[in-house]
Amino acid sequence: MSSAPAAHGAAPAPKFAEHFASLEVQNHAARLGMWLFLSTEILLFAGLFACYACYRFLYPEAFAEASRHLDLTLGTVNTVVLITSSLTAALAVHYAKEGKNNMVALMVALTLLMALGFLVIKGFEYSHKFHEGTLPGKHYSYQGLQLPGAPMYFTIYFLSTGLHAFHVTIGMGVLAWMGIRAITQKNFGPNNYTGVELASMYWHLVDLVWIFLFPMLYLV
């Protein structure tokens, strides 16, 4: 690689596309683009929230009753895990700014570990539901809860947590990519941390969506 040694963050070599006026403008553009993209993600979930609101209004008892059938302990553990992972993702940005590439990689690894933990716990919850038959729509076969509207609750449960889990997976991919760059290229530094920052923003979104989903599905 032709760039100067970047281990101390001395002379990072950010990729500069010449159609921008300056590197600053380029970073500004990247951040603005990410914010816009995140707003589309929120709107995607907002559609599901609207479905939830509508059917909760139509079937208040069934929804209240069905939410008791979720495992509150596992849900809470998962919430804590995800919030913590948001912290480590933020720390990764912090270290990237300081040019401490090894710490970036470590923080990314911790974040990924927690993300994996989240998915494993979610997997346990899912398999329990498959076993019980608390499934969406026509696949609902659980005898313990036969209120009209209960299958609808589980339709929304699976759709929203499934879509969220999908986003977790994407986020893991993006973070892993940054981690690999931190290890192999070692060129994050005070002038070159936008990539980590964007990945971490995405991760905060994944976290944020869960913070809405958790009370919506498990608590109220």
Partner 1 sequence: MTPSSSPTAEGVLPGHDDAGGHAGHHDHPSYLVDGTTVKSWLLTIDHKRIGLMFLASVLFFFLVGGVFALAVRVELLTPGPTIMDAMTYNRAFTLHGLIMIFLFMIPAIPAAFGNFMLPLMLGAKDVAFPRLNLASFYIYVTGAVLMVWGMLNGGLDTGWTFYTPYSTHTTTTVAPVLFGAFVIGFSSIATGLNFIVTVHTMRAPGITWFKLPLFVWAIYATSCIQVLATPVIGLLTLLVVGENLFSFGLFDPARGGDPVLFQHLFWFYSHPAVYIMVLPAFGVMSEVVAAFSRKNIFGYRAVAYSSLGIAFVGFFAWGHHMFVSGQSTFDAGVFGVLTMLVGVFTAIKVFNWVGTVYKGAVDFRTPFAYFCGFLFFTVFGGMTGIAVGTVSLDMPWHDTYFVVAHFHFIMVGATLMAFLAAFHYWFPKMFGRMYHEGWGLVSAALIILGFNATFIPQFLLGNYGMPRRYYEYPERFQALNVASTAGASLLAFGFVIVAIYLTYALFYGRVAGKNPWRSKGYEWLSESPPPTHNFVGPQPTFPEEPHYYVAPKKDEVNDV
- Site residues (CB under 8 A) for partner 1? 17-21, 25, 28-29, 32-33, 36-37, 39-41, 43-44, 46-48, 50-51, 54-55, 58-59, 136-139, 148-149, 151-152, 155-156, 159
Contacts of 167 (CB under 8 A, 6+ apart): 41, 205, 206, 209
Which residue's CB is nearer to partner 1, number 163 or number 176? 163
Contacts of 210 (CB under 8 A, 6+ apart): 78, 79, 82, 164
Which residue's CB is nearer to partner 1, number 8 or number 31? 31
Quote the tokens at residue 137: 């729509």
- Provide, rounded to whole angstroms, the least separation between the CB of residue 140 and partner 1: 9
32, 74, 40: which is closest to 209 by C-alpha? 40
Which residue's CB is nearer to partner 1, number 48 or number 105? 48
- Provide, rounded to whole angstroms, the least separation between the CB of residue 27 and partner 1: 10
Count the Cβ atoms, other than its own, within 10 Å of residue 141.
10
Task: Say how far apart CA 196 and CA 60 lie, in whole Å.
Answer: 43
Task: Say how far apart CA 115 and CA 24 lie, in whole Å.
Answer: 32
Which residue's CB is nearer to partner 1, number 110 or number 208? 208
Task: Say how far apart CA 153 and CA 67 lie, in whole Å.
Answer: 8
- Provide, rounded to whole angstroms, the least separation between the CB of residue 130 and partner 1: 14
Which residue's CB is nearer to partner 1, number 95 or number 157? 157
Distances (CA, A) of 130 to 38, 48, 76, 126: 32, 22, 21, 6
Which residue's CB is nearer to partner 1, number 63 or number 95? 63
**Torsion of the alpha carbons at 129, 207, 38 and 54, rounded to the nearest 10:** 50
